Structure 1
């Protein structure tokens, strides 16, 4: 019979083996995008495909930055990054501003219809985006709204319910004694919200804000529709999808992979920078004292 020590060793080996498989499954697509972005067109056509960039003739490792140079010289791609940054940042800031006010009211104030309001907000997150696309597009065309404003407005339709619902749970978890003490000291409800409660919910604001930013940064369907009449306002997902080759029927796979890597880097940087607050936001309220 196996000893307890051997059983524990086998459990640890199995555990780390599963962790390794999960990490490989999650990271391999990103690795393959980086690998493909560092290849020329001839290297991408090699059969079988290589796990590192290699010279087609000699087989030696040969890394090429041609795809990245093309992107930085591509005005359409650089303009798309700027448009995506404007739209995603505006959507995030406005969603957090409006959502935090709503969450404070729903989490801490008493009024009739509060529970019904929460259910209505939750139900709004269940509608598929495509169901409202046609109506929004007709509305935008009728009133001649700009494509950037249209994207921000449409993204907030889905970001606000999510932001409000998540932040409401955080405001609920804050002790009522904090508000009562502030009221005793003469603070108004708005002062209590702005100076005391809002700083305490910083981890939640970072977590929900980052998720909102990622969703707006990567959104494609609305961006493609609303920028169909203004190519200058195209965001980066649309710009990547519409990449064309130098000759007819050429698929610029290397350039698209390089663009995917560059577009992913800001998200990775934000997650690494705010990782401590994200962990606090995800675990807040998980332990009750």
Structure 2
């Protein structure tokens, strides 16, 4: 009995410590967003604001450059997610269901592309995009985002497709469905958790990406929020606007947190699919 009590207490203590460790930076950023600019300029500011203010949120929302960057982030992330998930679904289905030469090579190449450093591609992409007139445009960011998110989506979905019984698709074809109808009406609904997980991971990458966004844009026409935040400067280089940066970080983080809280079960289901057979 005492051992059970100690186990429960130890579990809760560990849980609380982990939560504090993970949430402390988030709480600190939120606290900074509620402080005035004069308070953040002071050396070693206290954890909680001396005087709570929402003026930073008003200034950020009224900033046309930030709102434009927010629209760019939503548009580019959604379009990149849509195209990546559609292509990854078709590719993963072919890899999981069909036997063809080079299937292992395709998966290996996809994994190699996913692990390739983004910084190494910035220079060549910069020159290519200026030649093709894609620099500082939405397609100029959507295409490389798709290149890096497709491999991950293919791996997630191929593992999920392998877990779906082949007999269900065969039964649909016996009932008169064409291969495309069987895929669209039987396989895709069953693979919905995996498709949803791939879409979430793709959206998160595009939403948080910084290196390509700041290297392949020059104006607010297509600059996303992470890149736009790099242009938040204060009166001098030694006094950056910490409160405004924290406020922008909170606003950008809210959509991600809401998505995770609303769809965490589907995300977990998609990530754990294929991990256990039987």
Scaled to the shorter chain, the TM-score interval is over 0.9
Mapping of residues 204-215 of structure 1, within 5 Å = 204-215=194-205
Aligned length: 276
8 A Cα contact 2:76 2:141, kept in partner: yes
With 18-27 and 115-124 compared, the bigger mean Cα shift is at 115-124
Q: Which residue number corresponds to residue 162 of structure 1?
A: 152
Taking structure 2 as the reference length, the TM-score comes to 0.94
Q: Cα distance, 1:286 vs. partner? A: 4.2
Of 24, 27, 35, the match for 1:28:
24
Q: Which residue number corresponds to residue 57 of structure 1?
A: none
Q: Which residue number corresponds to residue 278 of structure 1?
A: 267
Q: Kindly report structure 1 stretches of 4+ aligned residues shifted beyond 3 Å.
A: 45-48, 285-289
Mapping of residues 245-264 of structure 1, within 5 Å = 245=234, 247-249=235-237, 250-264=239-253
CA distance in 2, matches of 1:104, 1:86: 27
CA distance in 1, matches of 2:233, 2:113: 38
Q: Which residue number corresponds to residue 15 of structure 1?
A: 11
Residues 124, 47 of structure 1: CA spacing in aligned structure 2 closer, same or farther, 3 A cutoff?
Answer: closer
Larger radius of gyration: 1
Q: Cα distance, 1:92 vs. partner? A: 0.6
Q: Cα distance, 1:73 vs. partner? A: 1.1
The DSSP-based 3-state class of the residue aligned with 1:216 is helix
The DSSP-based 3-state class of the residue aligned with 1:131 is helix
CA distance in 2, matches of 1:251, 1:120: 43
Taking structure 1 as the reference length, the TM-score comes to 0.91
Q: Which residue number corresponds to residue 225 of structure 2?
A: 236
Name stretches of at least 5 consecutive residues in structure 1 with no aligned partner.
55-61
CA RMSD in angstroms comes to 1.5
Of 39, 44, 50, the match for 2:46:
50
Mapping of residues 128-147 of structure 1, within 5 Å = 128-146=117-135, 147=137
